[in-house]
């Protein structure tokens, strides 16, 4: 929602724009293009939007990436532009700054070790195959509900060893966190997650098993056990981290292939290209943006960002900046990536701990979908719809095949 111009005295008049990160013009049709309007000539590299209470937005790739990785000056504590979300959620490790962040992050990373991800591959393949076996008998589907929202949540619930039927209960919580529609306060959202998780957190602390939460909670924090409160904040973080992001990624990948049949064909002809294709599609369609709060005054691009200011860092404007990647809008499965990595999974000490899991899910989706479903396209009678927010995503994506 745009508010009356809020303009602290460190913001020069020529930096001011009115850009609502939850609803930029055109977002329903194309999240990526809606954000790219901020790279039009004349938009400053550091702009101040008056929407949502007023905050900075970095609009150029190099600034976004550098600020994202600079944990000395840019804190994760605030979490989001959404007022109050950070104070209420207190995610571990996402909202911790170094050095506090490190031992918690190490424990979470141990839980996501590659050996565990590899061990999970057959389950992901099974779930993917079962769903596709049903879908291929039809002549099309609404992809988000029929596939994208099912697999990643099912996999995450299996990882934490809870009933997979709980998917329907948990799915709306993920969407509320990243694209709030006002139907729940942030406190209600946190309480709903905590209420769901509480029995499992207690059980995993008392009697660790082989599941993801148990693995993480059995790694001591600087020589001492996790407290219940810390355990709850970490489990809350993983629950929300795993609910919405992979769903969004599946949507973007399916939409690209539906629009570009030649890319479908290339992967059908040469499945060995799939792992590279998954990487390139994840670069081309980044949907996560993060917020940082300034720990100190920082001079950049001729302005002073003041201690306490909020700045929004959209990965879409790093990955689609032609100064960061050649022809960034082109999907090239054989793209030679520059030494600089894309920011779909972030940059710096908070880079996504679920990156290996997400990549594995993308690869299996591509392998299984393309080997079972005939050439598919967008349904011209039912236009796709997208929503913005800290994770942008398709809300409707109708595919046809015959």
Which residues of the chain form contacts with ligand HEM (CB under 6 A)? 76, 93-94, 105, 108, 156, 237-238, 241-242, 245-246, 249, 288, 290, 344-346, 350, 352-354, 357-358
Helix (H) or strand (E) holding 293: strand 289-294
- Which DSSP string do the residues of 321-349 spell out, in sequence order? -TTTSSSTTS--TT----SSPPSTT--ST
Nearer Cβ to ligand HEM (11/94): 94
3: left (phi over 0), alpha (psi -120 to 50) or beta: beta
Instruction: Measure the CA–CA gap between 96 and 210, rounded to whole angstroms.
Output: 26
Nearer Cβ to ligand HEM (9/222): 222
Nearer Cβ to ligand HEM (105/179): 105
294: left (phi over 0), alpha (psi -120 to 50) or beta: beta
Minimum CB separation of residue 138 from ligand HEM in Å reads 26
Minimum CB separation of residue 348 from ligand HEM in Å reads 7
Minimum CB separation of residue 361 from ligand HEM in Å reads 8
Minimum CB separation of residue 41 from ligand HEM in Å reads 28
Nearer Cβ to ligand HEM (44/286): 286
Minimum CB separation of residue 266 from ligand HEM in Å reads 22
Q: Which of 37, 27, 81 is nearest to 395 (CA)?
A: 27
The CB-nearest residue to ligand HEM is 354
Instruction: Collapse the DSSP code of 94 into the 3-class scheme (helix H, G, I; strand E, B; otherwise coil) and give the result.
Output: coil
Minimum CB separation of residue 4 from ligand HEM in Å reads 29
Distance of CA 236 to the CA centre of its chain: 15
Minimum CB separation of residue 211 from ligand HEM in Å reads 12
Minimum CB separation of residue 92 from ligand HEM in Å reads 8
Nearer Cβ to ligand HEM (11/144): 144
Nearer Cβ to ligand HEM (86/241): 241
> Within a 10 A sphere around the Cβ of 322, how many other Cβ atoms?
11
Nearer Cβ to ligand HEM (15/309): 309
End-to-end CA distance of the chain: 43
Bridge-based pairing state of the strands 16-17 and 46-49: parallel
Minimum CB separation of residue 9 from ligand HEM in Å reads 28
Nearer Cβ to ligand HEM (93/328): 93
Instruction: Measure the CA–CA gap between 86 and 80, rounded to whole angstroms.
Output: 6
Q: What is the CA radius of gyration of the chain?
A: 21
Helices (H), 83-211: 85-89, 101-111, 114-135, 143, 151-159, 167-178, 186-206
Nearer Cβ to ligand HEM (17/120): 120
Sheet containing 398-401: give its strands across. Answer: 140-142, 398-401, 376-378
Whether 195 contacts 177, CB under 8 Å: no
Minimum CB separation of residue 193 from ligand HEM in Å reads 14
Nearer Cβ to ligand HEM (155/373): 155
Helix (H) or strand (E) holding 395: strand 393-396
Q: Which residues contact 138 (CB under 8 A, 6 or more apart)?
A: none
* DSSP 8-state code for residue 379: -
């Amino acid at each position: 929602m745009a508010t009356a111009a809020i303009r602290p005295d460190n913001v020069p008049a020529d930096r001011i724009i009115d850009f609502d990160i939850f609803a930029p013009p055109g977002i329903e049709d194309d999240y990526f293009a809606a954000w790219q309007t901020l790279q039009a000539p004349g938009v400053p590299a550091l702009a101040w939007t008056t929407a949502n209470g007023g905050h900075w937005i970095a609009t150029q790739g190099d600034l976004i990436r550098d600020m994202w990785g600079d944990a000395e000056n840019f804190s994760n504590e605030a979490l989001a532009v959404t007022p109050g979300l950070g104070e209420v959620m207190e995610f571990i490790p996402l909202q911790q700054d170094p050095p506090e962040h490190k031992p918690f992050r190490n424990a979470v990373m141990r839980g996501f070790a590659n050996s565990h991800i590899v061990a999970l591959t057959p389950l992901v393949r099974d779930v993917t195959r079962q769903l596709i076996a049903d879908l291929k008998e039809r002549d099309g589907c609404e992809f988000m509900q029929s596939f994208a929202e099912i697999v990643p949540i099912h996999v995450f619930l299996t990882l934490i060893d809870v009933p997979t039927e709980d998917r329907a209960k948990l799915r709306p919580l993920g969407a509320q966190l990243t694209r709030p529609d006002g139907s729940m306060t942030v406190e209600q959202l946190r309480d709903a997650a905590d209420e769901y998780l509480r029995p499992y957190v207690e059980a995993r602390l008392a009697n660790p098993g082989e599941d993801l939460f148990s693995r993480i909670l059995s790694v001591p924090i600087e020589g001492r056990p996790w407290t219940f409160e810390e355990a709850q904040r970490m489990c809350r973080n993983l629950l929300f981290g795993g609910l919405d992001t992979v769903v969004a990624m599946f949507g973007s990948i399916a939409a690209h292939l539906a629009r570009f049949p030649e890319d479908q064909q290339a992967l059908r002809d040469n499945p060995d290209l799939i792992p590279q294709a998954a990487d390139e599609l994840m670069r081309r369609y980044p949907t996560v943006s993060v917020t940082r709060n300034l720990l100190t005054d920082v001079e950049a691009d001729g302005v002073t960002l003041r201690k306490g200011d909020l700045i929004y860092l959209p990965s879409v404007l790093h990955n689609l900046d032609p100064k960061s990647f050649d022809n960034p809008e082109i999907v090239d499965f054989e793209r030679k990536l520059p030494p600089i990595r894309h920011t779909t999974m972030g940059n710096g000490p908070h880079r996504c701990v679920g990156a290996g899991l997400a990549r594995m899910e993308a690869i299996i989706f591509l392998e299984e979908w393309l080997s079972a479903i005939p050439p598919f396209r967008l349904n011209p009678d039912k236009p796709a719809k997208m929503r913005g927010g800290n994770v942008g995503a398709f809300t409707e994506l109708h595919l046809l095949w015959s």
